[in-house]
Chains A and B, each alone.
Chain A
């Protein structure tokens, strides 16, 4: 991964120019391409193809929650760390990151309740470790968030919040349909449809607000590509 953002991001805010940067439309298209590629990859992830085929088991759902939990607990911390690395010239992004971190702060508790509600042991869940993909994803996020003005993380948000907004509720509904689960056993995935739709709306506003320049756009796309790959890896490497 290339994290040479200190130069690229130092001039990402064009405070004087009120007109939208020329690359904004292209940024949306480039992110859409990353998304399409991610969706194709997700279709091949074993647990998700079993979910689509209706052959998924309760054990699959339990292991998915178990694996996600180990990375989800890191979500708020890396966003907080990113927030602390936005300087005063990136005040709006700092504001957005602080708010977002607070909102994500207790998400993992919802996941833990779901896990217990389907018969899992909270003690075992909390004693779990990250899988290979989660290690890579979490390591990358913290590393990137440590950079000065880590604007590229908007690309990470695009992927992670997009999965929550566009895919999680569908997964929840399908798990419910196949396994006969109650709403209160799929809180985490259902909640993210609404919460992350709000977040992706916020993200959309930032991406089109005119504060992203071409260099930052490249960072955002690159970060989205890396996070998309590592997120899929996390789903591929369940329990590894």
Chain B
């Protein structure tokens, strides 16, 4: 095949459940108000720099919504932003770390709730970088000309597994506290089309790239097994559920000692983008980066500044501090806010960067702001 179409992001939506919860309001939702936990929480919060976040939990810690509902609300906001309906979509690509149910796939549940007509689905699982894996799939199908319009959503409702009942009676070290006081809920979505928005600027998707280095790294973030290596007969599916629970298999854990390696590997991936010419540092105007904690912000900024001399804080965007770390939803929630608040001007370029600790994955997307047809950019 010769010519391909171009993919544009033409509508953006985000949904953050409930009122923002500040650092003093966390314990009411997630529990853990004993003195030791309190001390650990303060330490983790000081390091990650998150000041407020959203939980789909009421003030007593009871769930208020399903993950699929968060996804649908973000999608509906993106459809409204673009001025189209679910019936206009021909593909839906959904990213989440954990759906509400084990079976069927998350995208099937989101489609069922969203409605619209027949469409292609993709459930991208994984962790944070599944967001751009879903975007890549939608963009590829648009570029092939197979579909005129697709929607992508990243959605997370991790809070229910961060509540105290999951931690009662189990060993919970820094590997679980680190995530417990970092993750929160939300969803972000974008509309992908083969034509730019008729009357407003769009983001042209120049490329999406995702690389896994799992071949040379152990598991960093995990749930459903004991230890860092899955073994036959010892995963959560093999043993009694009560035993799995007692063994803490359902707690989400991260080997924090590996995070420096993760950051280094991420910088090397970025360097490679520059070295092979995918990123032209003299024409890179904005970086929207997902990172789990502010501890990595300065590291990342320094690393990027080595290759982008004109990078300054105005061109660097993250809303981690106010929207929290929402995993696969984060990059879309950040992009939506950056877009809505007018940070980008026609002609400018944007790099999305999503490192994923799970087992060392890195995803990037390069976007260019284009004026609506008939307007010089």
| Residues of A participating in the B interface, judged by any CB pair closer than 8 Å | 58, 117-119, 176, 179-185
Which among B43-51, B138-146, B305-313 touches the partner chain? Answer: B138-146
> Per a CB cutoff under 8 Å, which of B4, B147, B195 touches A58?
B195
Determine if B6 is an interface residue (Cβ-Cβ < 8 Å). yes
> Per a CB cutoff under 8 Å, which of A58, A117, A118, A176 touches B3?
A176
Determine if B149 is an interface residue (Cβ-Cβ < 8 Å). yes
- B5 and A185 contact, CB distance less than 8 A: yes
Determine if B173 is an interface residue (Cβ-Cβ < 8 Å). no
- A117 and B195 contact, CB distance less than 8 A: no
A176 to B143 CA separation, bound complex (whole angstroms): 12
Determine if B148 is an interface residue (Cβ-Cβ < 8 Å). yes
> For chain A, what secondary structure do more than half of its interface residues adopt (helix, strand, loop), or is it mixed?
helix
B117 to chain A, nearest CB (A): 9
A107 to B144 CA separation, bound complex (whole angstroms): 21
Determine if B88 is an interface residue (Cβ-Cβ < 8 Å). yes
Query: Within 8 Å CB of B144, what residues of A?
Result: 182, 184
Residue with the greatest number of chain B CB neighbours at <10 A, chosen from A58, A118, A182: A182
Residue with the greatest number of chain A CB neighbours at <10 A, chosen from B1, B3, B149: B3
A65 to chain B, nearest CB (A): 13
Query: Within 8 Å CB of B5, what residues of A?
Result: 180-182, 185
- A182 and B148 contact, CB distance less than 8 A: no
Question: What is the chain A residue whose CB lies nearest that of B373?
Answer: A57
Determine if B194 is an interface residue (Cβ-Cβ < 8 Å). yes
Query: Within 8 Å CB of A184, what residues of B?
Result: 1, 144-146
Knowing A58-B195, A119-B88 touch, does A181 contact B148 (C-beta < 8 A)?
no
A114 to B147 CA separation, bound complex (whole angstroms): 10
Given contacts A118-B194, A180-B5, A184-B146, 18 further A-B contacts (CB under 8 A): A58-B195, A117-B146, A119-B88, A179-B195, A180-B6, A180-B194, A181-B5, A181-B145, A181-B194, A182-B1, A182-B4, A182-B144, A183-B1, A184-B1, A184-B144, A185-B5, A185-B145, A185-B194
Query: Within 8 Å CB of B233, what residues of A?
Result: none
- A119 and B148 contact, CB distance less than 8 A: yes
Question: What is the chain A residue whose CB lies nearest that of B2?
Answer: A183
Query: Within 8 Å CB of A179, what residues of B?
Result: 195
A117 to B120 CA separation, bound complex (whole angstroms): 13
Query: Within 8 Å CB of A182, what residues of B?
Result: 1, 3-5, 143-145, 194
Question: What is the chain A residue whose CB lies nearest that of B143?
Answer: A182
B147 to chain A, nearest CB (A): 7
